[in-house]
Amino acid sequence: MESTRIYRWGILGAARISRRGLIPGIRETHRGLLHALASKRPGVARSWALEFGIPRAYGSYRELIDDPEIDVVYVPLANDEHLPWVMAAADAGKSILCEKPLALHTEQAEAMAEHCAQRGVLLMEAFMWRHQPRTLELLRLVRGGKLGDLRLVNASFSFPIDPNDWRLDPTKGGGALWDVGCYGVNCARLFAGCEPHAVHARAVWSKPLHGVDLTLAATLAFPNQVVAQIDCSFEQPYRCRYELVGTKGSLEVPDAFLPRDKSLALLRAVEREIPTELTFDNRNQYGLMAESFHVSLDQNKLIEPAENGVEQMKVLDALLQSARQVGQMVLIS
């Protein structure tokens, strides 16, 4: 029997991603209620609450976490703030949807996941693109052998960034890999169906020793003979795509992680010159992600394609290590 339980959400901070993503997304769900928003900036939480019809506004994150009526906390804060507020929310008995990347390094991610497990709450990394109808159908086609044996994943995500953006600050966990390259990594991991065992990367840095990666290109090798090539940048034109290539065909996916109202994929078969256009009607992918999390909460475990972010963080760590070592291959245990 399908659950009818309503889950009350609280959001920490007035981030851009909340305005364009999760706030309208939660509103489109059947079982999510946006109950509260907190901001440390004076008056901002109240302003947003009035704008979006949110019942409660708090002037501190602690007040929101201590609200006994909240079931789920969304953490869209700067990357260096994920660890303390995920831990605090778990201590208060709240399950957490945390923006990507989950943490600043693998040790943090593992500590966060373990802490949440000990507190009996769920932790999910917020990769909304995994919950698109298009993603789920393409995953079904790949697993069903439509492309033959998958051999190659290509993924690109780039855009020019404002020079004052916090994502250029290394102390806050900035960098193109952490912000947009993570999508290509996530894409490769999902479609390969396993974890890479070796990676190498090269990057262009904002400063020689202590800057962030402005542009990064990488290769990931998987044990099932899948190879992935990803690139990302804060200094290139907008690009957002991935391609899946197998022994019998390929799929080209434009607007990959930020689909339009109608999205498509081009299926090319080895024996046909003209590609087949696959079209998909899309709902708000943030709403679909929230609905997926509700199902996980019903069952008290993450349901595919949801993840807690630990394995993803291991790959990101290895890629950044390789890039800092000027392209030296890094093995992942």
Q: How far apart are CA 50 and CA 284, in angstroms?
A: 22
The answer to whether 67 and 87 have CB atoms below 8 angstroms apart is no
The one-character DSSP state at 42 is T
Give catalytic status of residue 314 as yes or no. no
Structure tokens at 214: 């402005």
The answer to whether 205 and 212 have CB atoms below 8 angstroms apart is yes
Q: At what angle do helices 106-119 and 82-91 cross, to 10 degrees?
A: 10
- Catalytic-labelled residue, pool 94, 100, 146, 301: 100
| Strand pairing class (123-125; 95-98) | parallel
Strand order in the sheet with 262-269: 276-281, 262-269, 249-254, 239-246, 150-158, 227-233, 213-221, 198-205, 330-331
Q: How far apart are CA 182 and CA 87, in angstroms?
A: 23
Query: Residue holding tokens 């992942």?
Result: 332
- Helical H runs in the chain? 16-17, 23-28, 44-52, 61-65, 82-91, 106-119, 133-143, 176, 182-192, 285-299, 310-324
Q: Provide the annotated active-site residues.
A: 100
